[in-house]
Structure 1
Amino acid sequence: MEKTKIIEALNKDRADELAAIIQYMGHHYMAEGMESPAVIEMFKSTAIDEMKHAEMLAERISYLGGEPTTQPSNIKRGGDLRKMIQDDLGSENAAIAQYKEHIKLCAEEGDPTSRTMLEGILSDEEGHADNWETTLGIKK
């Protein structure tokens, strides 16, 4: 198993989860308008899910001998409620694609524990994307 590749991938995931926490909580504080009460709660609960993901990733990175990053990746801010949700859906879709790549990497590198953890996180991210698609009225 090539731990360095896996640690780098997990740290990229962690940076994105840290950004998601900040982005969702920012949207939670900034959201306003007639439709906002239900969506505000969705922003908050999703941020809490992302906090759990960031913690799992940090624990796994530490176990593998790496140092968990504390730097978030790019954060999208502002706009009306629809733009916030669209930004969050875009971030979730990017996370889904990235987690699928990192799951494949873990399988190739012989790390079933990291792979299984990432599969669980992927399932959560797909649920988040589904929530935002439903909120936006997007049909697949």
Structure 2
Amino acid sequence: MQGDPEVLRLLNEQLTSELTAINQYFLHSKMQDNWGFTELAKHTRAESFDEMRHAEAITDRILLLDGLPNYQRIFSLRIGQTLREQFEADLAIEYEVLARLKPGIIMCREKQDSTSAALLEGIVADEESHVDYLETQLELMDKLGEELYSAQCVSRPPS
């Protein structure tokens, strides 16, 4: 089934974004685990896997539309050296995704590709959930202070 070139371009750009997010979230999770924030690291790792599921769905759609998924390109990673920097970097990538997807969904509908639009709408819902989580973590950090927030994220050995 031949896909519209603009839709395929959008899907590949979103694929690039998902591949970038996979790497960024995964490295942040490994750093968090190394710092002793084990529970936080588990959540961040799960976010990486969410992005992987998005990449898989987009890849399947591109292939169905007779396109070629571009796995050779990723955007620059923004790696935070503190929890705050990591949350801010991850939030920035999520905002960029939403800014691209919302007009992209409209374009897919205009091109009569409701399946690609529905796929992207599902991704928007997930990304909005990620944004809510990250904004909440930054708000908690502001209210509690970074030291107290960080202390709440440290895993304690079983007693």
Task: Return the TM-score normalized by structure 2.
Answer: 0.81
Give the Cα–Cα distance (whole angstroms) in 1 for the partners of residues 75 and 13 of structure 2. Answer: 8
CA contact (8 A) 1:18 1:54 kept: yes
Task: Return the alpha-carbon distance in structure 1 between the equivalents of residues 106 and 127 of structure 2.
Answer: 17
1:2, 1:109 within 8 Å by CA — same for their partners in 2?
Answer: no
Distance 1:129 1:5 in 2: 27
- SS of equivalent residue, structure 1 residue 77: coil
Number of positions where the alignment pairs a residue of Structure 1 with one of Structure 2: 138
Matched, 1:55 2:77: no
- Unpaired segments of 5 or more residues in structure 1? none
User: Identity percentage over the alignment?
Assistant: 34
Q: What residue in structure 1 maps to residue 96 of structure 2?
A: 94
Q: Does 1:25 align with 2:26?
A: yes
Q: 1:48 is matched by which residue type in structure 2?
A: F
Per-residue deviation, 1:81: 1.1
Amino acid in the other structure paired with 1:75: L
Q: Which has the larger radius of gyration?
A: 2
How far apart are 1:2 and its partner, in Å?
Answer: 6.4
Structure 1 residue 39: Cα displacement: 2.0
Which amino acid letter does the alignment assign opposite residue 46 of structure 1?
E
Distance (whole Å) between structure 2 residues aligned to residue 98 and residue 20 of structure 1: 14
1:108 counterpart residue number: 110
Q: In structure 2, what is the equivalent of residue 120 of structure 1?
A: 122
Offset of 1:96 from its aligned partner? Answer: 1.0
1:88-109 C-alpha deviation (Å, 9 max, x unpaired): 0111111111110110110111
Q: What's the C-alpha RMSD, in Å, of the aligned pairs?
A: 1.8
In the alignment, residue 80 of structure 1 is paired with which amino acid? T
> Which residue type is aligned with residue 43 of structure 1?
T
Taking the aligned partners of 1:120 and 1:2, their CA distance within structure 2 comes to: 20
Q: Which residue of 2 aligns with 1:81?
A: 83
2:61 & 2:74 partners in 1: Cα distance? 18
Give 1:38's aligned residue: 39
Cα offset for 1:76?
1.1
Give the corresponding residue for 1:131: 133
- Please say if residues 17 and 51 of structure 1, whose CA atoms lie closer than 8 Å, have aligned partners that are also in contact: yes
Query: Comparing 74-83 with 1-10, which one deviates more in the overlay?
Result: 1-10
